[in-house]
Structure 1
Amino acid sequence: AFFDFYEPANQLGGDYFDYVALRDGRLGVVLADVSGKGISAALLVSRLSAEVRYSLASQPSPGAAMARVNRVFCKPRWQDRFITMGLGVVDLERHQVTLVNAGHMSPVLHGRDETCEVVSHDASGLPLGVELDMEYRETTISLAPGESLTWYSDGITEAMNHENRLYGRQRLFDRIKGSDEGDVIALGERILGDVRQFVGNRAQSDDMCLVCLGRQG
């Protein structure tokens, strides 16, 4: 089961989120954050969307797809712009997810024993558009019944209240730990409700994106 939420801070957000159906039946989950705001960021997101879809269709692996997208954004026309991106390719039959990370927030695995583990943090590569020959490592995990995987953008953890305090990763982890096994709808709504309660009436300053994938027990 999936839960997803995306809300830009303004009409031209710099976050990108998408599902990409692959020909072999697997599903790509993409979260990205482009540098800058406004029209220039929106144009960059549009190009990124096209390149991600083409790369996932044409390359032999998620790591190779990420490397191809990186080469595109290392070209001179994109100089001084960079993108953080997290990619997950989900095999729904095998209950496996292959993760590749280009400097984005690492996803969180919630186990049945109430543990929260940051996945593939050590395998994270540089953001897209920084180093031409960057190779991106893959991490494959299996979801057991009752486990879930949560992707998020920094708009969640850096949400700020009226006292200028950040929501933070620890509070996010605490909300994930308290969730029902594999019920990602309840998990997503729990996180968003807590973020809204924390922020109060302060205006949203950054795009927010949250994606939860779970295998029910």
Structure 2
Amino acid sequence: MDLGNGRVALCLGDVSGKGVPAALYMSRALNELRHQVTSGDSPGEILTELNNHVSRGETSGMFLTLFFMIIDSHTKKIYFTNGGHDPMVYYHAKNNKAELISSAGGLPIGIMEDQTYETGEIEFGAGDVMLLTSDGIKEQKSPRGEQYGSERLQQILERCAKEEDAGKMIDAVMADVLGFASGRPPHDDRTLVCVKILGS
């Protein structure tokens, strides 16, 4: 979502449950998130308000994990928070290293009212990469029952991030996951969001 003034909001979420009820729950949460994003608040404040709105009167037992960030081209920083979602994989071009960003955030959205979500920040540079995944990526199992895991994601970014654009990195990750699975079907959806900083 383009927020203007060189700021872009981006998120990836996953609802507990399946089918129409889960789709309706996600739609409601996204509508409220779009409303909150226009407030100009920090990601942590936005998720705090979103959680209160979604939790209020909720009796379905469903909840939402959500990683939310704002990329600001003026400050050269990424402001982020995490509502119980898988950590972001962040690739630093200057030293060719990828790390898991698990700081800042809180519980999944919709579990309990009056939770406070913190905001973290990262200063970015040209060539840096942000990778968000659904849990179906890291939890994909091989025929021997081993999970794909986070370390393999970090390794593949370190191998291809310098040369490839975001679309080709997604292709490379999916090819690696499918090769690891060796025909074993996924137990959950496999979603990837990749952003590469082209200039700073």
- The TM-score, its normalising length taken from structure 1, stands at 0.83
Alignment of 1:74 onto 2:55: yes
Please tell me the residue identity of whatever aligns with 1:75. R
CA deviation map 1:106-127 (0-9, x unaligned): 11111121212222x1323111
| Aligned equivalents of 1:124, 1:55: Cα separation in 2 | 17
Cα distance, 1:78–1:51 mapped onto 2, change above 3 Å? farther
| Aligned equivalents of 2:19, 2:79: Cα separation in 1 | 32
| Aligned equivalents of 1:64, 1:78: Cα separation in 2 | 24
Cα distance, 1:23–1:111 mapped onto 2, change above 3 Å? closer
CA deviation map 1:167-198 (0-9, x unaligned): 11111111111123273233222111101111
What's 1:38 paired with? 19
Alignment of 1:29 onto 2:10: yes
Alpha-carbon distance, 1:93 to partner: 4.2
| Aligned equivalents of 1:177, 1:78: Cα separation in 2 | 44
| Aligned equivalents of 1:23, 1:109: Cα separation in 2 | 24
Alignment of 1:123 onto 2:75: no
Alpha-carbon distance, 1:46 to partner: 1.1
Please tell me the residue identity of whatever aligns with 1:183. D
User: Which structure is higher in RCO with an 8 Å CA cutoff and minimum separation 6?
Assistant: 1
Q: How many residues align?
A: 197
SS in 1 for 2:191: strand
What's 1:8 paired with? none
CA deviation map 1:20-78 (0-9, x unaligned): 22244421111111111111111111111111111111352222211111001212234
The answer on whether the counterparts of 1:183 and 1:216 sit within 8 Å (CA) in structure 2 is no
| Aligned equivalents of 1:94, 1:122: Cα separation in 2 | 20
SS in 2 for 1:90: strand
What's 1:215 paired with? 197
| Aligned equivalents of 2:4, 2:156: Cα separation in 1 | 35
SS in 1 for 2:116: coil
Cα distance, 1:146–1:23 mapped onto 2, change above 3 Å? closer
What's 1:184 paired with? 166
1:84 to 60, 65, 70: 65
The answer on whether the counterparts of 1:73 and 1:128 sit within 8 Å (CA) in structure 2 is yes
Cα distance, 1:83–1:180 mapped onto 2, change above 3 Å? closer
SS in 2 for 1:22: strand
The answer on whether the counterparts of 2:58 and 2:110 sit within 8 Å (CA) in structure 1 is no
- Equivalent residues in 2 for 1:76-155, closer than 5 Å: 76-112=57-93, 113-119=95-101, 121-155=102-136
Give the RMSD, CA atoms, in angstroms. Answer: 1.9
The answer on whether the counterparts of 2:83 and 2:109 sit within 8 Å (CA) in structure 1 is yes
Please tell me the residue identity of whatever aligns with 2:77. Q
The answer on whether the counterparts of 1:63 and 1:136 sit within 8 Å (CA) in structure 2 is yes
What's 2:184 paired with? 202
